[in-house]
Structure 1
Amino acid sequence: MKNLSVAAVRLSRWLLSFAGRGGSLPGQIGLKIDPQILSKIRITGPVVVVTGTNGKTSTANLIADLLQEAGYDVVTNRKGDNLREGIATALLSRTSLSGTVKATAAVLETDELNVKYILPALPVTALVVTNFFRDQLDRAREMEQLIESIEGVLEPFQGTLVLNANDPNVMRLADKAPQASVVTFGVARNQESTRVTGEAAEGKFCPRCSRPLVYDWYQYSHIGRFRCEACGFGTPDTIDVNLEDIDLAAGTFAWNGSTFHNPYEGLYSMYNAAAVLALGKLLGIPAPKAEAVFRHAPQPAGRNETFEADGRRIVLNLVKNPTGANEVMKVIERDPALKQIVIVLNDREQDGRDVSWIYDTHFEKFMNPATQAIWCTGTRSGDMGLRMQYGGWTGPLHMVSDLKEAVHEAAAAGDVIYVVATYTALVPARNAILEEVRK
């Protein structure tokens, strides 16, 4: 069955390539033929699994680039097919009929709910965890249930946990992995850090004893330096990779005596870079190779992706939960230019049917004189328009059913346009922007 499963994936992937398609279908076929196929293949070299609510795509891609820079032949699901079927497609497409993956390293972005399938099946060297936030409640359920699904497969894990030291929901994983080693990463206190937080936060109570956690400071949401005064659980006194001298304006940070260029904008993205450096330290990859990767990192689609044409600047951002959306709002707020805002809110299955998260997002951050008008579109445009009114927006508010029309009107109204889109709206929004740019 193993050989048949591998052959079916390779053949279906080859056939789909002629139609310009890819995705997870080949992996679905392979797993249907042999549900245990992932545990039967052989991988030579490190296997890195990257998971978490926000930042896993960027982090996984940067880690894959780092390993390639270090000389590894890397197999990875770079396009973000992070469910079990997508991971099976990536691996089995590079597997010989004898069951050996033809690569010297694997970097696999993995959906949080799929870690329970991937971690026991593969010889994972390192599990990198970026953060845990409330996200897509109708699919992922409450965050506690999601974390428990990962904790349930950690007891036999003998690799290394690479954990965000500033997230109590991540650090708790170490308690459930007695056979694993732990490497931590974080970001030191800086000019953006605050003593209190007004953002949605899920790190209020100690996961060991349920007492309230005390924070010395916050970076955003529940990310910061925390401790439990009852049982001692908290941010480690010594963090293996702790970024310092944070300069958001210059986009730089320091670690281990060297200055690095942050590949993406925003304080939250510094944690992606910290995770990459921590993984590099674990594998003995020199830091200059990471700096080379950071300096040449491509901008991921929909992550502050910028398009320019005829003096206009259009910036596209993906939003899918309150914490990630709030960080996008901060980026928009810091831009002093006169701007138009397009918000595309969908509620399809991949977005999450429950859109109540928009009331935990601080859209008010861009409700200032620099914002000239707001366009709301998408399947739940009415809900977003109501949210704008509840937020106190009194300027021009346009409700447009057609996404392309909304982008076109905003682009005609000004030179700086921010487009904020949920998951299923991201590709249509990007296509609409490209049409405007090509005119």
Structure 2
Amino acid sequence: MDSILVTGNGPLNGQIPIAGAKNACLTLMPATLLSEEPLTLTNAPRLSDIKTMTALLQSLGAEVSSLQDGQVLAMSSHDLTSQTADYEIVRKMRASNLVLGPLLARFGQAVVSLPGGCAIGARPMDLHVEGLEALGAEIELKDGYLHAKAPGGLKGAVHEMRFASVGATENIVMAATLAKGTTVLKNAAREPEIVDLVECLRKMGAQISGEGTSTVEIQGVDRLHGATHQVVTDRIELGTYMLAPAMCGGEVELLGGRMSLVESFAVKLDAAGVHVEETRHGLKVARKNGRVSAVDVVTEPFPGFPTDLQAQMMALMCTAEGTSVLEERIFENRFMHAPELVRMGANIEVHGGTATVTGVERLKGAPVMATDLRASVSLILAGMAAEGETTVSRVYHLDRGYEHVVRKLEGVGAKIERIKGQ
């Protein structure tokens, strides 16, 4: 199994290109199931999760071609052969559940295994099921699979979600595009990835308004057509690399970055003593002077502080001046990186969904183990700011969400290499 060796190496300088958003692309790909005509995505990230979604779509009979070194995905669902998403593929990635709404909307039936993904909490499917049932679907759980049908087709409805779930919002919106009548989805998630999905669906002929707010209205249409769409910039990769100069010093420009994607995160960085400014090509980040200051963080749905940047922010707070409190309100079990940071000399106490971090002057390199996708990159950031060598094992998580991480960090002066497993 591969590992990554990081050696603390001082300030970083240069540019890092930011890829298309993993979470947006994984939502956009199932949209091809809604139409017989081709859907082409540009600016696609080159990640193992994209390969998993490709395999899932192909298992349903869709055609998926990876072009231009993987940055263009050409898809067609004109001749699907199955409406069953098998466990062997779905277990690898939670986003696989996003085929449920499109299959149900277009074919009136779908059988989808309960999903897998990072072990950061239960993340149940009940919000997806409730929304689709509001549109007239009949859904039953049997042997680990959701068996869904809508014999008379889906019908528009008013539905308020109990929690602003991103995945459930995406599934319900896609399903509603082909439902008869108007659907009003209340307490909808507001993430940029949802706005990006709606922009793509609109290009395909969907009639949707209100994206980016808590109320989304969808007027169902008889059919959707093909389109070409550029995947939005990955705000989590952007935020992750913004932390690199914050932790190590220096000045780094993140190409393709936009402040609107990371506003609440940038506010916290500013309070900690990190300068962020927009440039013609992206965002430029530099630490103001000396050690950063401790700041408190509470994870919330967009536009609040992203749960997917909590682990990386904790790594920064490990060497901050003072004590910070990080409260995780989105997922349980999302402090599994804390014991690994403690191995590097961090002072962290975890009680339930709250972590208290008292900053130390310098972390020390150590062998650590990645427990999930975001934890893995937080340990790499910590290693870059630590004294000596850090070996991060189980980095297969990393390949799910960060393309060419070693190359990108090497390009700004980090001392980092990937060690191939035996």
TM-score, normalised by the number of residues in structure 2: 0.31
Higher helix share: 1
Between Structure 1 and Structure 2, which shows a larger proportion of strand residues? 2
TM-score (norm 1): 0.30
